[in-house]
Amino acid sequence: MNTSTTEPMVSPSKWQRAAPIFTLLFLSPVIADVLFGSIRITTLFVLILVTGFWGCAALIIRDVVRRHRQGWLAILLLGVALAIAEECVIQQTSLAPLIGVDPNRAYGRALGVNWIYLIWALGYESIWAVVLPIQLTELIFPDRRDIPWLGKRGLIISSIILALASFFAWYSWTQILVPQYFPNLDYQVPFSSVLIALAIIVVLVAIALRLPSSSIPEQRRTRLKTPSPWLVGLITFTLGLPWFGLVLLSYGAVTILPHVIPAVVGVILAGISFFLIEGWASSPIWQDAHRLGLILGALLASMLGGSIILTVGGALPIDRIGQLALNLIAIVLLIYLARRVQLRKNRKHYMTEKEADSSSCNPIFLGPFGTLLIDGRLVRSRTGMARLRPPSRSNTGLHVWQAQDFLVTENWRQNYNPCFLK
């Protein structure tokens, strides 16, 4: 088989290596806390601390998963483990009585756990603080999507900062702020509860690290019909917005509702979301535009949900106006990113053979000679012929799509998921 000469690899500059790291450090706390409104304009200084926690944690999780060549499911499981650490070990928000709620009239609290709030926190912190920031950063820097960003030294530094930020968050919240400003809620979390949480964290991490590598070559099969990117965003928004109702319920918004109902609804909502997204993402037509639609829908849900919570909670006008302004800025930037994704949608991405083998696409070998018939149609380039591996199934449509030098059908391109080799 003839292939074109491989072009020399160009080493990325220091800025190209550092840019995605600092972007993820910034995006994780901004998405999880600032855009949502848990960090308000009047308390924006706290962003430094949460950057050390959420930002470094997201970096470490992504680096570990990429080194093991795993996919988003491993990131999700490690994100849930991180959320349990935050809720039950570090700040212990899901174990101690909620601030602003009468301990004698707490909604959804049993066996020393705020169950409704815990369900919300596990979903929110794993998705909005870990999965979405990683996905968004990789959309911004697509050329560095599949490789680790941290070297050994960077991993050690990030781990040290995460440990220091975790200790400071635990000590300042449980040992200083709560006893001093909320003495009636000064609650000693049972050590057994912390041990159980640590055991669950160990189990989740072990499961995540034992998941099979996503780089194993296999034909991606469509389990669900993937909708358009805009419909993906709309469905995500529709599923995401009710999730924030769990916060209002956990603070006693509707006390006459039996506790088990929102708990079961929350679990079902999470299961439906997982089923849909996992099914869509397994399709060969799942592309960056779909990922961006998913991110946009989820962020709009958290922005609106956070705004409702701030309003119901009686936040200061400056905080509500500040959140709205920051949300509008974020939406404008996401629209700009959508434009960039659209512009590069039809751009050929050249890979080495090794990179193609570790990806989910099907290689197209470029050479001056070669033939291929797809349902009796010859695939040609302007400068010669293209040699391709036969697709597992061919679905040639009537409309011809021009991919830079190549003429292939749109339906075939979606089913075959091609990538171009150097």
CB atoms within 10 A of CB 407: 15
**What's the token pair of residue 176?**
């200083």
9 belongs to a structural domain: no
Nearest to 317 by CA among 130, 20, 122, 42: 42
246 belongs to a structural domain: yes
Are 201 and 70 part of one and the same domain?
Answer: yes
Q: Which residues pair with 362 in a beta bridge?
A: 418
For residues 410 and 108, the model is more confident at: 108
Domain finish residue from 343, 364, 393: 343
**What is the residue-wise DSSP string for 44-97?**
GGGHHHHIIIIIHHHHHHHHHHHHTT--HHHHHHHHHHHHHIIIIIIS-TTTSP
Are 222 and 301 part of one and the same domain?
Answer: yes
Task: Look at residue 388 and tell me whether its pLDDT is greater than 90.
Answer: no
Q: For residues 70 and 50, what is the distance between their CA atoms, to the nearest angstrom? A: 26
Are 388 and 324 part of one and the same domain?
Answer: no
Are 211 and 332 part of one and the same domain?
Answer: yes
256 belongs to a structural domain: yes
44-54 burial, b for 16+ CB within 10 Å, e for fewer?
A: eeebebbbbbb
pLDDT score recorded for residue 12: 62
**Contact between 141 and 12 (Cβ < 8 Å):** no
Q: For residues 80 and 53, what is the distance between their CA atoms, to the nearest angstrom? A: 15
Q: For residues 92 and 89, what is the distance between their CA atoms, to the nearest angstrom? A: 5
Domain finish residue from 301, 322, 343: 343
Are 253 and 285 part of one and the same domain?
Answer: yes
Q: What is the mean pLDDT of residues 30-55?
A: 91
pLDDT in tens, 364-381: 443 333 333 333 333 443
Nearest to 345 by CA among 402, 411, 407: 402
Distances, alpha carbon 70 to alpha carbons 76, 77, 101, 211, 312, in Å: 11, 12, 41, 7, 41
**Contact between 41 and 323 (Cβ < 8 Å):** yes
Are 356 and 332 part of one and the same domain?
Answer: no
Q: What is the mean pLDDT of residues 189-208?
A: 94
Q: For residues 209 and 74, what is the distance between their CA atoms, to the nearest angstrom? A: 7
Q: Which residues pair with 381 in a beta bridge?
A: 384, 406
**Contact between 266 and 120 (Cβ < 8 Å):** yes
For residues 87 and 401, the model is more confident at: 87
Q: For residues 231 and 92, what is the distance between their CA atoms, to the nearest angstrom? A: 37
Are 270 and 400 part of one and the same domain?
Answer: no
pLDDT score recorded for residue 374: 34
39 φ/ψ sector (left φ>0, alpha ψ -120 to 50, else beta)? beta
150 belongs to a structural domain: yes
Give, in degrees to the nearest 5, the angle at Cα 65 between 59 and 71: 120
- Structural domains of the chain, count: 2
**Contact between 59 and 27 (Cβ < 8 Å):** no
Q: Any residues with CB less than 8 A from the CB of 42 and at least 6 apart, and which? A: 316, 318, 319
Are 325 and 374 part of one and the same domain?
Answer: no
33 belongs to a structural domain: yes
6 belongs to a structural domain: no
Q: What range defines the domain where residue 67 resides? A: 14-343
At 419, the pLDDT band (50, 70, 90 cuts) reads: low
Q: Are strands 350-351 and 362-366 parallel, antiparallel or unpaired?
A: unpaired
pLDDT in tens, 244-272: 999 988 887 777 888 899 999 999 999 99
76 belongs to a structural domain: yes
3 belongs to a structural domain: no
Give, in degrees to the nearest 5, the angle at Cα 299 between 296 and 301: 110
Range name among 39-53, 136-150, 201-215, 337-351 with the lowest pLDDT average:
337-351
Domain finish residue from 311, 343, 375: 343
**What's the token pair of residue 169?**
């968050």
pLDDT in tens, 227-250: 888 999 999 999 999 999 999 888
Q: How does the average pLDDT of the chain come out, rounded?
A: 78
Q: Does residue 166 sit in helix, strand or coil?
A: helix
Q: How many CA atoms, within 13 angstroms, populate the side-chain half-sphere of residue 99?
A: 14
Q: How many CA atoms, within 13 angstroms, populate the side-chain half-sphere of residue 324?
A: 11
Helix (H) or strand (E) holding 401: strand 400-403
pLDDT in tens, 335-366: 999 888 877 665 544 444 455 455 555 544 43
Nearest to 241 by CA among 300, 315, 313, 320: 300
Q: Any residues with CB less than 8 A from the CB of 265 and at least 6 apart, and which? A: 242
pLDDT score recorded for residue 45: 87
Are 362 and 332 part of one and the same domain?
Answer: no
**What's the token pair of residue 166?**
């975790």
Are 383 and 305 part of one and the same domain?
Answer: no
Q: How many CA atoms, within 13 angstroms, populate the side-chain half-sphere of residue 102?
A: 5
pLDDT score recorded for residue 313: 82
Q: Are strands 380-381 and 109-110 parallel, antiparallel or unpaired?
A: unpaired
pLDDT score recorded for residue 418: 52
At 11, the pLDDT band (50, 70, 90 cuts) reads: low
Supply the pTM of this predicted model.
0.78
Are 292 and 388 part of one and the same domain?
Answer: no
Computed from CA positions of residues 215, 217, 223, 228, in that sequence, does the dihedral angle turn out positive or negative?
A: positive
For residues 234 and 279, the model is more confident at: 234
Are 316 and 387 part of one and the same domain?
Answer: no
Q: What is the largest CA-CA distance in the chain?
A: 80
